[in-house]
Amino acid sequence: MARARGIYRRGDSPYWWIDVVLPDGRRLRQSAKTAKREEAEALVAKLKGEVFKAAHLGIKAKRSWKEAVVRYLALKSNLRSIRDVRTICRKLDPILGELTLDQINGDVIHKIIENGVQRQRKAATINRYLALTRGLLRMARDEWQWIDSMPKIRMLRG
């Protein structure tokens, strides 16, 4: 019965697992990361609901900064400077790590600048952080269509 709904237990894990086909046709297989069946069922319903809203109502699912960084780094993995890009992403994580992409606004960008100034970073270093943020948000808006708008990010002089 549990398999019919797409929720089941594996022998090697105390958690419930999900194996469902979403309304857009994608198959999703992952751990529910909970030992309670009700929570796993709620997670399946939530995932199906988000996909349905996105497909039929035009409401986009909220995507996290971390999710965007993972996809961005995968796409940019062939760059010579990929180590520098990863380093910048790690340094931006304390500021942007817990935010969704639609929560990033001018105040958050100003926080990135303030953080750089407090740590006595040069303008060129802060501009690298801003350029990566702008590039990632632009990709999320234009290529992935995860967000509808993004804040205007201007570089510092100097």
- Whether 33 and 15 have beta carbons less than 8 Å apart is answered as yes
Model pTM above 0.85: no
> Model confidence over 105-148: pLDDT tens digits?
999 999 999 999 999 999 999 999 999 999 999 999 999 989 99
Decide: helix, strand or coil at residue 152: coil
> Model confidence over 24-33: pLDDT tens digits?
788 889 999 9
Cα torsion angle, 24, 29, 30, 36, sign: positive
d(C-alpha 78, C-alpha 17), whole Å: 34
